[in-house]
Each structure stands twice: as structure tokens, then as C-alpha cells.
Amino acid sequence: MDLDMSQFTAIFVEEAQEHLAAMEAQLLAIQVEAVTKAELNEIFRAAHSIKGGSATFGLGDVTGVAHELESLLDRLRNGELALTHEMVDALLKARDMIAQMIAAFEGKGSVDAGEVARVCEVVRRLAATPNSTHTADPPPREAAAPAPTAPMQLPAAATTATTATTGAASAAGPAPTPAAAAAAAPALPPGEGVAFGFFDGAPASPTPAAPSRASNSSFESSSIRVSVEKVDQIINLVGELVITQAMLAQTAASGDARLQERLSLSLAQLDRNTRDLQEAAMSIRMMPISTVFNRFPRVVRDLAARLGKQVELRLIGETTELDKGLIEKISDPLTHLVRNSLDHGIETPAERVARGKGVMGLVTLMASHQGGNIVIEVRDDGRGLDRERILAKARERGLAVPENPHDVEVWGLIFEPGFSTAAEVTDVSGRGVGMDVVRSNIVALGGRVEIHSEAGLGTCMTVRLPLTLAILDGLSVSCGDEVFILPLNNIVESLRPSPDAVKTITGRGRVVLIRGEYLPVVSLAEMMGLQGRENTESQGILVVLETGQRRLALFVDALLGQHQVVIKSLERNFRKVSGVSGATIMGDGRVALILDAAGLARMAVPRAPEPSIVHA
């Protein structure tokens, strides 16, 4: 079966151009003498994302230039080199060269191979030779509040079902094209997955297939396909809404003695129609996650061949639907997780045999609905996370590590920017940018990442996301005369603690003991500069919030009720506010701010203190 690569090619080109534009703007605005680490990280992430996407499509020249950019940027952000104007010029020239190569990939012009080599040589020389006039300069300063960037999706050629296999790569010749591989593949029983790798103990060194050019009719990523049934449903509901509106207008004008009763009935009907219309409209934006999952068979196949591993990819729950906005933004984090599973999790065939495992490793991508969330799991049956190695690396980098950390705290260290336990830097991993991207992207979408790992058995990365970015299930709380919305997804529980449960730590603020764990207490009134009605925690309410690896107890005056609210962008209409993710309009016409649990956690005490240092 032939695969239509044009839509994935067009997505790659479009998003590569966005990253190149962002890189150029950042380089042109940068102040050489006062560059921040956050600025260098943004440029680095753009180069890293372009490299990943180009590698997927076999664009070796683009991958090579992007890798040279990474090497220079990595030394700059680590403080090994001081940024100079010559480096900025070289980075801009390399950026222009990548733009030319991507244009050539589309069939627009050509690229001089000699010029590519010259640009790479300049960047390589600057990365290898420290600036003699700035060798004693300190590393780039930290920005006060770096904003995470949204890395490019890494689209890949996709198979159309999990019941087909592309077969093993041959060590004797080039890899088959996706279309040829799919056509020649034998069918597997449902649920058997897709197997990739090579056999006879000889790693394959496939020659990348010639990339297909983007078709003249480019894929418009802002469009979606909608079934006729869904459109008909919307039209019918709009008709019902018009009828109900007419009924209300007639009732209001009649002056009948039973006006109040008729108005109540009409309003109830309007409420039902409005809710049905809302649900139908939202269903149009829902897309199956298979549009993302189907990109990974090619990713796993190519990466397994490069790493000398045999890997089976199993896809479960491809029909699970989620908002199109999430579909577009979840691809890159999932790509990082899958690549990490293959590179760090799955062992080589020899290692697996020595540990009593089968030669072929298993990576599972699974999606499901749980309540109002979508849950995506990336599982592998590899070696698991090395607890001691992570702790040693964290201490080496000077990260704050508790004396006897829980596994959750240890696993959370791998999300720190620049953290990596890889022994050497390769074009697959080792720079510590992947998991940082995962966390920043998922948190920006209102979700969180959970890790469960057992040594020798494997690792499971769980991503929890809201079903849609347009509507939020929230809990309204009061603070003084204001109303705020807390996302239900982040709420663990609410309680009114006893007076002796709340303690004070000198120089650290208040904490509360809940089920044997001390959590930092954050006053919403203090954070928002308001005058709360309640003075002590025992008079008000504590709402326990969880985001990522952190928990905190938010002190509010009262709980008002549960609501489904329509999210309005605060940043677009006003400006970004710390601890606030958006706003909504309540039923009485008042504007209520939607609180950002992750932002509140960052503003609170970073970790709960040990009970031994707590006093009343």
C-alpha cells in the first residue's frame, strides 16, 4: 500500500520554517555582551528540533549543519565559550544555509555542497577553539523567568495500521522505501504490533531512501476533515436554538400571567440546546490520536537500525480522540519519549540475552480516556532508570538532592535543563534537551508527566492532558471579593486543617502536615495582593494541588462550586501574569481568573522541608 508522504513533508517544511524564523529573530535581537542562558536555550531547542525532523526525512546535510550548530550553542550555554559577534554571524549563515537546503528539499532551487562544507567548517572552528580574549568570562547569566519555547513537531512517514510490519532491515543493502516495505509486508494478527530491527547479529547500515518532494498542493495544517453527520448535527442544533430563541421572544412579549413558568421552561430548553451545540462543535475539533501514532513506526524502524537494536512497536488505542490543538503540540514530546526509550531503555540484543530476555525489545504507545483527561503511555521493557547514576550526575552538576530521596524525586531530576546521563554526545541523545522539552511542552498544555521505572524491567512515562484546550472543568473558589477558577485536573483534595497541623519554619513560611507529608502553604490572597476574609488556615480552606512532581496547599476563603468554563486568553487581551493561565466569564457577567497550578508551584517553596526542622 502506497503511503502519502506529502502531508507529513508539508508539516515538516512549515514548522522548520517557523523555527528558522524564530532562530533568526532571536539571533538578531541578542546582545552579545549580555546574552542570557535562556536565550541560548531557545536557539538550541530550535536547532535541535530542526535536526530531529530532518533526520526523520533522511536529510543528512540539514542534520549535519544543525548538529554543528548544537555543538557551538551547547558550549556557549555551558559557559565554556563567550559569545562573540563572529559567532552570531556564523550562526546566522548556518541558519540561512539550512533554509536553502529545506527550500531545495521542496524542489525550489539547489544548494552548493562546497558552501555547505565551508559554513560547517566555520561553525566547527568556532566551537573547537576558545575565544582567547574571553576565556575567563563567566557563563551566560540566567534570565529571571525564561519562557519555554514550543519545539517543532517531528513528523515521520506513517504506516496505516499496527497490524502491518515493514520487516527487518537488511544488512546487505539499502532500506526499502516505506511504500515498498508496506506493500511487501505480511499481515500480522491484531495486537501483534510492528517489529523493527535486524537479525543475524549484524547491524544494518541502510542508505536513506531519497526523500519525496512536497506536492504542489501543500497540506494545510490548519484544516481538519469533518464527517457529514457531524455537520448535519450542528445545523440541526442551530435550528433548535433559533426556535428556542423565538419562543423566548414571544413569551417575553406576551405578558401572560404564567410568564414566569413559561420563561423557566424555555430557558431550560435553551440550556439543553446550548450544551448539545457546544458538545457537537467540540466534537468537530476532536481527531484520533492515530494521526500522531502513525508517525512512529518509521521513527522506530530507522532509529533501531542506527542503534543496532531489535525493537517491536505496539500501538494501542489509536482511535482515542483529542482536540486538534493538542494533536499538533503533543507530537514532539512523544517523539522525545520514544527516542529515549530506544536509546536509553531498550538494551542491545547481546545485553538482553545476557539478562535472560528475548532478543527483541518492546516499546508500547497507548492512549485512553480517563475521566476528563487523555492519558498517553510510552512503555518499554528495557533496563529501567539507573537511580544511582541519576543521583551521581545530579550531584556532579550541583543540583539540590535530598539525603534520602524518594523515587519520584529522583526521576524528576531527568527533567532538569541540560541533564543527561549519556556517556557521550551523539546525534540521537546526550545533550540533555529532550526531557526538558517534554516537561515544558506538557506543562504548557495544562498536563503533567509521571514516571514509573523498575531496574531491569523497564520504564513507563505517563502523559496526562486535558481533552481540549478550549473548555476547562474547574472549581471556583473565593478570595476576598474575587472569584478564581482552579483546574479540576490539578486538584487532589480540599480540607479544613486542625490548628496544630499548620507549622511555621523560620525563613521558609508555613507548611501543613497532610497524611504524613509536609506541603508548603500558599495564600492566594497574598499572592494576588488581595485582602482575604479568613485570617488563618483553620478558618478557611486548603486546596491540595498537584503538578508534575510537586504538591502545594493553596489557602482560599471558600469553595463555591464546580463549573465548565470557556477559556479566554489573558495574554492575548492583556499580558502574561504569573500563576494565571487565562480568564473566563462567569454566569453573572464577572471575569474570573483561571489559576495555573504549575505557575503557583514555581512561585511557592520548591520542596517541603524535613519534619525535624519544623516547629510550631
Give yes or no: residues 417 and 507 share one domain. Answer: no
Residues 291 and 158: their CA atoms lie apart, in Å, by 9
Q: What DSSP designation does 409 have? A: H
pLDDT at 586: 78
Give the residue from 128, 150, 167 where a domain finishes: 128
Give the residue from 128, 151, 186 where a domain finishes: 128
- Listed in sequence order, the residues at least 6 apart from 612 whose beta carbon sits closer than 8 Å to its beta carbon are none
Give yes or no: residues 495 and 529 share one domain. Answer: yes
Which strands make up the sheet holding 458-466, listed edge to edge?
194-196, 311-316, 361-370, 373-380, 458-466, 448-454
Give yes or no: residues 433 and 490 share one domain. Answer: no
Give the residue from 451, 466, 481 where a domain finishes: 466
Exposure string over 44-64, b if 16+ CB within 10 A, otherwise e:
bbbbbbbbbbbbbbbbebbbb
Give yes or no: residues 188 and 325 share one domain. Answer: yes
- Listed in sequence order, the residues at least 6 apart from 239 whose beta carbon sits closer than 8 Å to its beta carbon are none
CATH number for the domain spanning 52: value is 1.20.120.160
Give yes or no: residues 526 and 402 share one domain. Answer: no
**Encoded amino acid at 150, one letter:** A
pLDDT at 130: 64
Q: Is the pTM of this model over 0.85?
A: no
DSSP H helices in 308-459: 324-340, 349-354, 387-396, 407-412, 434-444
Residues 613 and 395: their CA atoms lie apart, in Å, by 23
Q: Residue 582 domain-assigned? A: yes
The pLDDT tens digits for 459-481 are 999 998 887 767 778 899 998 88
pLDDT at 33: 86
Q: Residue 171 domain-assigned? A: no
Exposure string over 289-300, b if 16+ CB within 10 A, otherwise e:
bbbbbbbbbbbb
Q: Grid coordinates representing 161?
A: 495500521
Q: Residue 30 domain-assigned? A: yes
Give yes or no: residues 562 and 525 share one domain. Answer: yes
Residues of the chain with pLDDT under 50: 1, 132-137, 144-221, 430-432, 606-616
To 10 degrees, what angle do helices 60-77 and 113-128 make? 20
Give yes or no: residues 427 and 446 share one domain. Answer: yes
Taking Cα atoms as reference points, which of 496, 432, 443 lies closest to residue 465? Answer: 443
Give yes or no: residues 29 and 110 share one domain. Answer: yes
Cβ 431 vs Cβ 527: under 8 Å: no
Q: Residue 217 domain-assigned? A: no
Q: Residue 561 domain-assigned? A: yes
Q: Grid coordinates representing 598?
A: 504549575
Residues 165 and 196: their CA atoms lie apart, in Å, by 8
CATH number for the domain spanning 540: value is 2.40.50.180
pLDDT at 240: 74
pLDDT at 169: 33
pLDDT at 157: 33
Domain that holds residue 302: 178-202+292-466
Give yes or no: residues 69 and 109 share one domain. Answer: yes
Sign of the Cα pseudo-torsion (386, 390, 396, 402, in order): negative
Residues 50 and 43: their CA atoms lie apart, in Å, by 11
Q: Total structural domains in the chain? A: 4
Q: Grid coordinates representing 8?
A: 507529513
- 221 vs 12, 212, 320, 325, 445, CA distance in Å? 11, 19, 20, 11, 19
Count Cα atoms within 13 angstroms, Cβ side, for 332.
30
Cβ 95 vs Cβ 70: under 8 Å: no
Q: Residue 516 domain-assigned? A: yes
- Listed in sequence order, the residues at least 6 apart from 231 whose beta carbon sits closer than 8 Å to its beta carbon are 284
Give yes or no: residues 117 and 14 share one domain. Answer: yes
To 10 degrees, what angle do helices 37-56 and 434-444 make? 100
Q: Residue 438 domain-assigned? A: yes
pLDDT at 55: 84
Question: 29: how many CB neighbours lie within 10 A of its CB?
Answer: 8
Give yes or no: residues 270 and 316 share one domain. Answer: no
pLDDT at 162: 34
The pLDDT tens digits for 273-289 are 777 887 777 777 788 88
Cβ 383 vs Cβ 499: under 8 Å: no
Beta strands at 509-514 and 580-585: parallel, antiparallel or unpaired: unpaired
Give yes or no: residues 193 and 234 share one domain. Answer: no
Residues 69 and 67: their CA atoms lie apart, in Å, by 5
DSSP 51-96: HHHHHHTT-HHHHHHHHHHHHHHHHHHTTSS---HHHHHHHHHHHH
- 216 vs 4, 114, 153, 231, CA distance in Å? 13, 29, 22, 29
- 494 vs 66, 93, 555, 558, 559, CA distance in Å? 49, 56, 10, 10, 9
Q: What DSSP designation does 156 have? A: -
Taking Cα atoms as reference points, which of 403, 216, 197, 395 lies closest to residue 300? Answer: 197
Q: Residue 413 domain-assigned? A: yes
